[in-house]
Structures are given as structure tokens and as C-alpha cells.
Structure 1
Amino acid sequence: MLTAILVSLAVVFVAELGDKSQLITMTYSLRHRWWVVLSGVAVAAMLVHGLSVAIGHFLGVSLPERPIAFAASVAFLLFAVWTWRARSEDGEDEVRVAEPRFVLFAIVSSFVLAELGDKTMLATVALASDHHWAGVWIGATIGMVLADGVAIAVGTLMHKRLPERFLHGLASVLFLLFGLFLFFDGGLGLPWVAVTVTAAVAALASAVAVTSWLRHRRQAAELIAQETS
């Protein structure tokens, strides 16, 4: 069992580095308190890897990928709208908004949908077929929480250094990109279209952000010039 814990922990931790789950975690940490995000990640990891262990060790069946991808894409698009609306309601000097009532459920549900059929889940399924199921479940859960904890630390550091409204806008755009990519790639099975559409939207969002930043700088310079004249 100890071997199963250590092996699955190492495999999942490495597999999560740079994965979309880390980006999703960082996105949530831009908007919500770190302990809320980490709690949601822990619950989602237990559920996802519990299901993986059941599939690999007891059932030996596969999940329908496209319906899950469709559901995940719709969820992320809704989160993008929700975050953008919250951004427009927040003030510039607000330290951190109060946690919405259902934010933990939103984090857990989005993570479960995003991880179903992901390479991390497939790795856990394979491990559970050859190792002790309880050890794989424990190790995989700890590995995911540790990897996503790194992403939370990055998001918290960004939150201390960047304006609140900018971070909320960034979180909204990231959710939009996740939703579009999952819709075209996993839902429709069009990976090149997914890459093209996601890259185009990311480029457009970057251009809008740079234009807005330059406009604000110009307005600030004009205000300073008026005050000094």
C-alpha cells in the first residue's frame, strides 16, 4: 500500500505540472481565498480519483468523453460570464470580495468535469489496475492537491502585486478560453479548430487589454499634466 501511495503521488504530481488543472486552480485563486480553492480542489481530487480507482480496479469500463467535454465547456463559459459580471460590480480598492455561497460547489464541479477523461485520471485508472486501490486513491489525491497548491501560491502572489479588476478580468478570459477549447477539442473532436479559436480569442483579449492599459496611462498622464499646470 505504501508503494502504491508513493508511486501514484509522484505520477499525478508530475502529470499535473503545467496541466489545465493548475491553470484552473490559479484562475480560481485570482478570485477567491486560497483556502476555499484548496478545499474545493481536495474534494474534487478525492471524487475524481475515487472514480478512477473504481473504474480501474473494480469496473474496467470507459467514460463517454464527448458528453463530459460538452458539460465542462458549458460550465466554464458560465463561470466566465459570472466572473466578468462580478468584476464589473467590484470596486478598484476592494481587497477581496466575500465568497459567494456556492463557490465551493462551483470549484468542485468544474474540476470534476475538467478531470474526467484527462490524462491524470487515465494514469490513476492504470495504476489502480496494478496496485493497491486505497494507496492509489490516497497518493493520487495528495499529488493533485500538492501540484495545485503550487498554482494557488502563484495566484496569491499575483493577487498581491496586480490590481483587483485586472485579475478578475484575467480570470474571466481564462475561463472563456478553457470553455472554448473543451467545446471544440473534447466536445466536437476538432483539435486544430480548438487551438485556432482559442489562440484567436486570446490574441484579441490581449490586444484589448493592451489598448485599455495604454488609454489609462494616457489619461493618467493628462491628469498629472493638468494638475501641475
Structure 2
Amino acid sequence: MSLSIVQGFSKSLAMTVLSEIGDKTFFAAAILAMRHPRRHVLAGCLTALIVMTILSAAVGMAAPNLISRTLSKHITTVLFFGFGLWSLWDAYHDSESEELAEVEAELDANIKSNKSDNKGDDDSKKNKRPLLTQFFSPIFLKAFSITFFGEWGDKSQLATIGLAAAENPYGVVLGGILGQALCQTAAVFGGKSLATQISERFIALSGGVLFIVFGLQSLFSTVES
């Protein structure tokens, strides 16, 4: 395994773990696993995050071919510093339990809405099931959609794009997938009790420092011809 893959792998793994632990999708997986079969929740959440990681890395890999490598390096550096400052801001201003309560309230509202929509037409809907539900569990699809759209445009997705533009994209994908697998497994099997014990402030602070370190490395790195 080449050094560039190892560097991309290690950076992506560290960034993913620190970005996803205590994130909204982490809490969503923990809460969903308390209400539905864990294997369906884990499969749905993890599949969504793997797809998101591959798509993000593909965008990052294509970036140097669309714009100059020098400009790509500058954009990546700004992204890392920006995410670092953003995480440090969150560490000192966010409430510890605010995001968990917000996610739980959103899921409860979603469940109530679905129940009201399903009243009176259960029989007709059984005969008109969407194509995807004929092949996948509804819980899998629910976990997938909540996680995928929850991650779209999130800090971790943009950071993966920037990291794939600066490092070996294959290493970034491998590290990202392993990091997502570790975080989602912890969320699903650790449950809400684990989520409530996580110090969001410490995770945000650690992530902020890590992003700034990545920014400094990008700033002082040389552009390959």
C-alpha cells in the first residue's frame, strides 16, 4: 500500500470519526435503533453514508481536473480552516443536548405525520406499494433517506470533497467508510444512552483542531505538477 493511500486513509478516518460522533445522523441512528430492528437501521444508515462518501470523494477527485491544481489547493485550505473555526465555534456556543433533542423531536413529528396520512387507506396502499418497498425493508429505506439527506451539504461531506482533492481519493474512501462503519455501529448498538454520554463540546473541539492541522498541512504543501 502506497504512502499516499495510507495518508489519505488515516486523515479520512480521523476526520470522519470526529465529524460523525455526536452528529445529527449519529443521533438519528441511535434513536431509530431503539424503535426498529437494528440490522435494518444499521444497513440503511451505513449504505447511505457509504454512497455519500463515494460520491463526495468522486467530486473531490474530479476537482483538480476541472480547475487548476493551485486553485484547488487554495480552496481546500480555506475549507479546512473554515471547518476548523466552525467546529471551534460550535464547541464554545452549542448546548450539549440541544441536537439530540432536536433530532428526537423531528423523528417524532415524522412518525405522527405518517400515522395520520396512513389512516383510512391502508388496504389501497398495500396494493400500490412503491417499487423500492418491494425489494427493501421500509425501515431500511427510512434510515437510508434520513441519513442521506441529513448528510447532504453537511460539513463532513464538504470536508470529504476537500480531503479527496488534496489526498489520495482511494485512501479517503477507505478511511471514510471504516470511520462511518465504526460510528454507525456504535450509534445503533450503543443506543441513546451512549449518545447522551458523548461530550459534543469535546468532539467539536477535537474536530476543530484536526481541521486546522489539515489546513496548515495544505497551506504549506507543494502543488504537484
Q: TM-score with structure 2 length normalisation?
A: 0.52
Deviations 1:103-154 (A, max 9, x none): 2122112211110110111111111001111111121121122112221123
2:176 matched to which residue of 1? 140
Amino acid in structure 2 at the alignment position of 1:123: A
Q: Output the CA distance in 2 between the equivalents of 1:119 and 1:137.
A: 16
2:39 matched to which residue of 1? 35
Query: Cα distance 1:134–1:102, how it changes in 2: closer, same or farther (>3 A)?
Result: same
Query: What is the identity percentage for the equivalent residue pairs of Structure 1 and Structure 2?
Result: 26
Query: Cα distance 1:144–1:111, how it changes in 2: closer, same or farther (>3 A)?
Result: same
Q: Output the CA distance in 2 between the equivalents of 1:83 and 1:151.
A: 26
Query: Cα distance 1:145–1:84, how it changes in 2: closer, same or farther (>3 A)?
Result: farther
Structure 1 runs (4+) deviating above 6 angstroms are 83-86
Once the two structures are superposed, the pairs formed by residues 50-65 of structure 1 within 5 Å of their partners are 50-59=54-63
RMSD after superposition: 2.9
Q: Output the CA distance in 1 between the equivalents of 2:190 and 2:113.
A: 24
1:115 matched to which residue of 2? 151
1:19 shift after superposition = 0.8
Once the two structures are superposed, the pairs formed by residues 1-229 of structure 1 within 5 Å of their partners are 1-59=5-63, 78-79=110-111, 81-82=113-114, 101-155=137-191
Q: Output the CA distance in 2 between the equivalents of 1:30 and 1:83.
A: 18
Amino acid in structure 2 at the alignment position of 1:19: D
1:80 shift after superposition = 5.0
Determine helix, strand or coil for the equivalent of 2:62.
Answer: helix
Determine helix, strand or coil for the equivalent of 2:35.
Answer: coil
Query: Cα distance 1:106–1:129, how it changes in 2: closer, same or farther (>3 A)?
Result: same
Gaps of 5+ in 2: 68-105, 119-135, 195-225
1:85 shift after superposition = 9.0
Gaps of 5+ in 1: 62-74, 87-99, 159-229
Q: TM-score with structure 1 length normalisation?
A: 0.51
Preserved contact between residue 34 and residue 156 of structure 1 (Cα < 8 Å): no
Q: Output the CA distance in 2 between the equivalents of 1:21 and 1:46.
A: 13
Q: Output the CA distance in 2 between the equivalents of 1:106 and 1:21.
A: 12
Q: Output the CA distance in 2 between the equivalents of 1:151 and 1:34.
A: 10
Preserved contact between residue 60 and residue 162 of structure 2 (Cα < 8 Å): yes
Q: Output the CA distance in 1 between the equivalents of 2:112 and 2:156.
A: 25
Q: Output the CA distance in 2 between the equivalents of 1:32 and 1:111.
A: 15
Q: Output the CA distance in 1 between the equivalents of 2:31 and 2:155.
A: 20
Amino acid in structure 2 at the alignment position of 1:34: R
Aligned length, in residue pairs = 132
Moved more, 147-156 or 26-35: 147-156
Amino acid in structure 2 at the alignment position of 1:118: D
1:176 matched to which residue of 2? none
Q: Which has the larger radius of gyration?
A: 1
1:192 matched to which residue of 2? none
Deviations 1:9-31 (A, max 9, x none): 11100111211011111121011
Amino acid in structure 2 at the alignment position of 1:141: I
